Chains A and B, each alone.
Chain A
Amino acid sequence: DVKVTQSSRYLVKRTGEKVFLECVQDMDHENMFWYRQDPGLGLRLIYFSYDVKMKEKGDIPEGYSVSREKKERFSLILESASTNQTSMYLCASSLWELGRSSYNEQFFGPGTRLTVL
């Protein structure tokens, strides 16, 4: 059973703080993703990683950075939190298979609801 865990379910931070959101998956997946989920806007991709130390910007990377030092762990960093970063953050992972022409299912974590005051 694929398990994606996120370090916190709820987090409250102050404007200007540096915030770390951690995500761990236990299925040896190559791909990992960070999304934010907002009502009316759906899921928007912030960053993704297809291998250790590799990262690619998603659709809304501004104000965020990521770190992937180990295959199972993908961290999202808010360098200086702002109120417009109040949101639900979802982590996901998926398998990458060489030669596979179709896309693999993404498995999601439970989410971290971040409030920036």
Chain B
Amino acid sequence: AQRVTQPEKLLSVFKGAPVELKCNYSYSGSPELFWYVQYSRQRLQLLLRHISRESIKGFTADLNKGETSFHLKKPFAQEEDSAMYYCARAGGYQKVTFGTGTKLQVIP
């Protein structure tokens, strides 16, 4: 079974500090990985996907096949980044397996 592991339930950082949300996945061929975000009282939405190799809201994530990781990073945290973040990987039939989520709390 495909697994996505997010080891931190809660990550607290000060405004302006760097952020790294960890994500590891079980190895299986060429994975397709995503980060989804849920802001308070809002819907879960896609933040970024590795095949796009883009930066969204200052966040980036690099796929490291050797370490089977897809950590989400931002150099300077903002208060509006406070949210629940889910790492996810694609499976068959357009299915996606989600991790358990990390709550990011940015302290003013």
A104 to B86, Cβ gap below 8 A? no
Main secondary structure of the interface of B (DSSP, over half): mixed
A41 to B93, Cβ gap below 8 A? no
Interface size for B (C-beta < 8 A) is 20
Q: Mark B35-67, 1 if CB is under 8 A from A, else 0.
A: 000000001111001010000000000000000
A58 to B95, Cβ gap below 8 A? yes
Q: Which of A17-25, A43-51, A65-73, A74-82 contacts B (4 or more CB under 8 A)?
A: A43-51
What CA separation (Å) do A58 and B98 show in the bound complex?
12
**Most chain A beta-carbon contacts within 10 A, residue among B6, B43, B94:** B94
B51 to A102, Cβ gap below 8 A? yes
Quick check: is A8 within 8 A (CB to CB) of the other chain?
Answer: no
B46 to A106, Cβ gap below 8 A? yes
Quick check: is A94 within 8 A (CB to CB) of the other chain?
Answer: yes
Quick check: is B90 within 8 A (CB to CB) of the other chain?
Answer: yes
A94 to B94, Cβ gap below 8 A? yes
What CA separation (Å) do A67 and B30 show in the bound complex?
33
Chain B residues with Cβ under 8 A from A90's Cβ?
44
Main secondary structure of the interface of A (DSSP, over half): strand
Partner pick for B46 among A31, A44, A105, CB 8 A cutoff: A105
Quick check: is B79 within 8 A (CB to CB) of the other chain?
Answer: no
Chain A residues with Cβ under 8 A from B44's Cβ?
43, 90, 92, 108
B86 to A48, Cβ gap below 8 A? no
Identify 23 residue pairs between A and B in the complex whose beta-carbon atoms are under 8 Å apart, listed by A's number: A4-B43, A40-B100, A42-B6, A42-B98, A42-B99, A42-B100, A43-B44, A43-B101, A45-B96, A48-B93, A50-B93, A50-B94, A94-B94, A102-B32, A102-B51, A102-B90, A103-B32, A105-B49, A106-B46, A106-B96, A108-B43, A108-B45, A109-B43
Nearest first, the 8 A-B pairs at minimum CB distance are A42-B100, A43-B98, A103-B90, A108-B44, A105-B46, A42-B101, A108-B43, A31-B94
